[in-house]
């Protein structure tokens, strides 16, 4: 049986992505609005109930909050600080290669 994973996202993560696109890639507001709609429709949007302060980078903490609120099984990332945690409150933190290996077995 094929298992299909679902994306969990939050407004804070959408805002972070839009900020990076605007700053690093000079995207215009109309394109950013389309990206916001796309991200919102791509997965389940959650509203984290509380803040965590586990990692130095505040954006990383927003990802942890989203994963907990969305009852995620895993976070797939290349972020070294997050990967050092390996697990946070039952949510596994994996590199893309680990995730793909897990899915192919």
pLDDT digits (tens, 9 = 90+) for 60-90: 999 999 999 999 999 999 999 999 999 999 9
**At residue 54, does pLDDT exceed 50?**
yes
Cβ(51)–Cβ(59) below 8 Å: no
**Residue 32 corresponds to which tokens in the numbers above?**
């950013």
Burial of 65 (0-12, 13-18, 19+ CB in 10 A): buried
User: Tokens 């946070």 sit at which residue?
Assistant: 88
Section 52-62 average pLDDT: 96
Task: Report domain extents, the chain.
Answer: 8-104
C-alpha of 71 from chain center: 12
The structure's pTM equals 0.86
pLDDT > 70: what percent of the chain?
A: 94
pLDDT digits (tens, 9 = 90+) for 23-33: 888 888 898 89
């Amino acid at each position: 049986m094929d298992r299909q994973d679902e994306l969990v996202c939050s407004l804070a993560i959408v805002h972070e992505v839009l900020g990076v696109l605007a700053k690093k890639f000079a995207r215009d507001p109309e394109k950013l609005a389309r990206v916001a709609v796309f991200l919102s429709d791509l997965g389940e949007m959650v509203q984290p109930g509380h803040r965590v302060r586990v990692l130095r980078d505040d954006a990383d903490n927003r990802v942890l909050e989203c994963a907990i609120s969305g009852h995620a099984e895993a976070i797939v990332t290349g972020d070294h600080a997050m990967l050092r945690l390996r697990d946070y409150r039952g949510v596994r933190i994996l590199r893309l290669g680990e995730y793909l290996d897990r899915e192919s077995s």
